[in-house]
Structure 1
Amino acid sequence: MASKIWRNYQLYLFLLPTLIYFFIFSYIPMYGVTIAFKEFKPHLGILGSPWVGFEHFERFFRSDQFWSLIQNTLGLSIYQLAAGFPLPIILAILLNYAKFHRLKKTVQTMTYVPHFISTVVLVGMMSVLLSPQLGIVNVIIKSLGSDPVLFMADEDWFRSVYVWSGVWQNAGWGTIIYLAALAGIDPGLHEAAIVDGASKLRRIWHVDLPGIAPTIMILLILNMGSIMAVGFEKTFLMQNALNLATSEVISTYVYKVGLLSSQYSFAATVGLFNSVINFMLLIIVNRTAKAFGQNSLW
C-alpha cells in the first residue's frame, strides 16, 4: 500500500489541499456539536460550560412545537420531492427527442436561467406577481369573477407556492445531469429498437429509462438523505405571522431560538437532531436500494 502511494505521490499531492480544506472547515468544527450536551455560556467557552447530558433533547421532544415542526418539515420536503424530482427527468427526455436544434437550445436556456436568480429576488418576484391588488395572477382571478387570493399570507397556500416556485427555478438546471446520462446511452440500442418497430414511448420505457436508472437512483438516495433539510433562506423570506402554522420548519426554528433568543445549546440540539435523522434516512435508503439490487452510494 505504501509503495503504491509513493509511486503515485503526485496524485495524492493534488488531493491534499481538498483533504486539508474539509478537515479544517468540516471536521474540526464538529467539536462544537458538544454544546448540545452542555449549558453553553459564551464567557466560559465550550470547554468550560457545564455538561447537562440529554436535558435539551428532552426539552425539545416535550415541547409543544416538536410535532408541528416535524410535520411541517416533512410535509414540505416530501411535497418538494414528489413534485420536483420527476420533472427534470421528463424535461430531459423531451429535450433529448426534440428535432429542432434551435428550439432545443431556446428551451434549455429558458429553463436554465431561473436557477441563477437569487432567492431574495425570487421571493420578491413572487410577492409582486401574487399581490392581491396588482399581481397578475390575482388580476386574472378577479377578471374571472372570483375574489383575490392571499397566496403569500395563507397558510394553506404556503407549501404550494414554495414548492412550485422551486420547481420553476431548478427543474431546468436538474436536467443537465439527466441529459448527460442520456448522451451516454449506446445509439445502437435505439437503432435496434427502431428496426424492431418500437415507438418513441417504447424506446423511452425500454432504452432511455433503464439507461439512466443508476443516475436516478443515486440522486434519489441523495435527495432522501436531505429530506429534513428544508432550505432556511427561502422559507424565512416567505414566512410571516399569517402563514406561520405551516411555514415554521426546523431550520427557521433553530435560527430563532439560537440567534434571536441566544439559546445556543438548545438550537444546537435541534440542529443535531435534524442532522441525525437525515443521516439515518440516508443509510436506510442506501441499504434498501442495495438490497433490491439497485445502484447505491457505497
Structure 2
Amino acid sequence: MHTPEALSKHYIPYNAKFLGSTEVEQPKGTEVVRDAVRKLKFARHIKKSEGQKIPKVELQISIYGVKILEPKTKEVQHNCQLHRISFCADDKTDKRIFTFICKDSESNKHLCYVFDSEKCAEEITLTIGQAFDLAYRKFLESGGKDVETRKQIAGLQKRIQDLETENMELKNKVQDLENRLRITQVSTSPAGSVMPKSPSTDIFDMIPFSPVSHQSPISTRNGTQPPPVPSRSAEIKRDLFGAEPFDPFNCGAGDFPPDIQSKLDEMQEGFKMGLTLEGTVFCLDPLDSRC
C-alpha cells in the first residue's frame, strides 16, 4: 500500500475518532476486541447522551509505532511501539470501527484501543500490518537477530569483571599478609640482622602479579598522563517523532549497556509473537508454524 521509504523515513497520517482504550486479558483474539469495542461503545453512548462528543485524533503510522495525537496542538496522547502491538483488526459488522491491542510499556497490561473512521478503517489496519512487517525486517537486518549472542557476550564480560575484582581482593590480602610477616620478622630478629625486602617483590622474591594492563603514558609539558578515555559524542540524535536517542534500526553489532540490551530483548520477543491481522500473522520466521 505504501512505499518502504514512506514508513521508514516519514509516517502515514490518518484522521479518526478515538473511542478510548480499555484493559483486556489476552493479547489476541476476535472475541477479546469484540468485548472491548462493545464496552467502549456503550461508554461513549452514555457520554454522548450527556452532550460529550467523541474526540478526534490524528494517527501517525511508521516503523517506530503508532502515534495518537491531538489534531490541532499535535500533542502526543499515546505512543504505541509496533513490537508491542499484537492484534489489529477492523470490524466487519461495522465498517467504521478498527482496533488494535498494545502492551503498555509501564504497567505491562494489554490495552485495546478502539477508533472510528468513516472511510479508512480497513486501510489503517493494513497500514499498521505493513509497518509491522517492515519494522521486523529492518530490526533483523540491523542486527536484532544477534541479540541473544550479544547477551551471552555481556554475561561473559560481567564474569570477567567479577573475576578481576576477586583477584584484586586476593592480591590485597596477600599484600596484607606480607606486611604482617615482615613486621613479625623485624620484631623477633636481632637488630640489624634482617634486611627489609624490596617492596617490588613478595615473600617468595617474586614480582606480584597485577591484572591491570599498563598503557603507555602520553608525554605532556607538565609530565606524563595516561591516555584519555574515549567519550561518546555529546550530540543527541532523535528519531522522526523526537523520541529518545536509542534507534533499534541502527543498532549495528556493538555491545550495549543493560538498559539498551533489555530494550532489544523486548523488541525481539514482541516481533517473535507476531501481529495478528484479520487472521494473518505478520512475521518472517519460516520455522514459525503461524506464518
Same fold (TM over 0.5): no
Structure number with higher strand proportion: 2
TM-score normalized by the length of structure 1: 0.23
Which structure has more relative contact order (CA 8 Å, sep 6+)? It is 1
- Flag the structure with larger Rg: 2
- What TM-score do the two structures reach when normalised by structure 2? 0.24
